[in-house]
Chains A and B, each alone.
Chain A
Amino acid sequence: EVQLVESGGGLIQPGGSLRLSCAASGFSVSSTYMTWVRQAPGKGLEWVSAIYSGGSSYYADSVKGRFAISRDHSRNTLYLQMNSLRADDTAVYYCARSPREGYPGDYWGQGTLVTVSS
């Protein structure tokens, strides 16, 4: 059974760094197209980043240069390293697995809340 469990969220000061984790089971993150999507409180969905099985990655303009997506085959975990955090990065962050490369996620985690505030 496919399962995704995000962790690593919390309260962080502006300018700080945080690494989100997405632990997967039922499939291999290393051979699967994965994405991160976020949702600010009371707002809509915003695509953040994606990584192909071959390692190519893409980012939203709003996070480019500050966030980095990666994965660990041995831990079967997807990561999102977030640096230079700003108040407008405050959101619930979801990871999602896609059934094929370049397609939206069919399985989503429950999300982890990141709050950027002093």
Chain B
Amino acid sequence: DIQMTQSPSSLSASVGDRVTLTCRASQDISTSLAWFQQKPGKAPKSLIYAASSLQSGVPSKFIGSGSGTDFTLTISSLQPEDFATYYCQQYYRYPWTFGQGTKLEI
């Protein structure tokens, strides 16, 4: 199975900051990488697919990049509603796998 490793596991930031989250795959997954945002007690929300394509309705402050094994999600001008847990997921090969998540805290 392809292992996905996210770093850091948690991150403290302030409103207005820009942050970068990292996701690394254990093997080349091309650009078959998605990012999700999840708030407590809620379903995950799709942000990015194909490593850098923004899901419809997602603000452009979320920027995904990378290919192969190394990927990043950059969030600019943090707002209170952006504080959540973020997961990456590879869909290059079954079984699909998620990273363990990065908790973004105020």
Any chain B CB within 8 A of the CB of A103?
Answer: yes
Q: Sort chain A's interface into a size bin.
A: 20 to 34
Task: Return chain A residues, CB-CB under 8 Å to B34.
Answer: 103-104
CB distance from B43 to the nearest CB of A (A): 4
Q: Which of A23-49 contact B (CB under 8 A)?
A: 35, 37, 44-47
Any chain A CB within 8 A of the CB of B60?
Answer: no
Task: Return chain B residues, CB-CB under 8 Å to A79.
Answer: none
Task: Return chain B residues, CB-CB under 8 Å to A35.
Answer: 96
The reply to whether A104 and B49 form a contact with Cβ atoms under 8 Å apart is: yes
A59 and B94 alpha carbons, distance in the complex (Å): 8
Q: Which of B14-22, B66-74, B75-83, B97-105 contacts A (4 or more CB under 8 A)?
A: B97-105
B46 is contacted by which of A46, A60, A104 (Cβ under 8 Å)? A104
B contact set with A: CB distance below 8 Å: 1, 34, 36, 38, 42-46, 49, 55-56, 87, 89, 91, 94-101
A contact set with B: CB distance below 8 Å: 35, 37, 44-47, 50, 58-61, 94, 102-111
